[in-house]
Amino acid sequence: RFEKVWLGAAILLIVGFIATIAYGSVGVGVGMVDDSGGQISAQEVQNGNTGTHFDDPGVVKTGDDKYTVYVVARQFQFVPGSGDNPVQVPAGANVTFRVTSADVVHGFSVVETNINTMVIPGQVSEVSARFNEPGTYGLICHEYCGAAHHTMGGSVEVV
Ligand code: CUA
């Protein structure tokens, strides 16, 4: 009889974990659309003719302490983010990342934060965060995207 109680408790715990995970991913939200409400294609992103901020990706100030960071992921870099072009945002600001892909599925994850989303060609992934601590945060692609997937990364500098 006690075994049944423990089994029940274990199942409840497992269901609870799954619910927590599902809730986390719902919070991320993968949007289908661009700023103007239309869908953008990976080809348009490749060619830089989406007619959106993705044609010249980077950090845009949208209000007091509010920033939107447009990031294009492609094999095997983030623009901005990779190499000598880190994402730079102020500490304490509300930062919304809008990320799309110019080719295949990538991941977008900022180390030591809960920023973690898939980046899907033809879609815009949106995730918001606030960095309270200044510093350099690692940025990694956590979805296999090709031969140099393991080299795809960058940084977010919070100043
Ligand atoms: Cu991009 Cu893995």
Structure tokens at 33: 């659309």
- pLDDT value, residue 31: 54
Decide: 143 in ligand 1 pocket, CB within 6 A: yes
Mean pLDDT throughout 15-20?
54
**Ligand 1 atom nearest to 142, measured from its CA:** 2
H helix and E strand count, the chain: 2, 11
pLDDT at 17 over 60: no
Q: Residue 7's pLDDT is what?
A: 75
Is the ipTM higher than 0.85? The answer is: yes
Report the atom number in ligand 1 closest to the C-alpha of 149.
2
Mean of the pLDDT values across residues 74-79?
A: 98
Distance 3 CA to ligand 1 centre (A): 45
CB distance 119 to 152 below 8 Å: no
In this prediction, residue 4 carries a pLDDT of 78
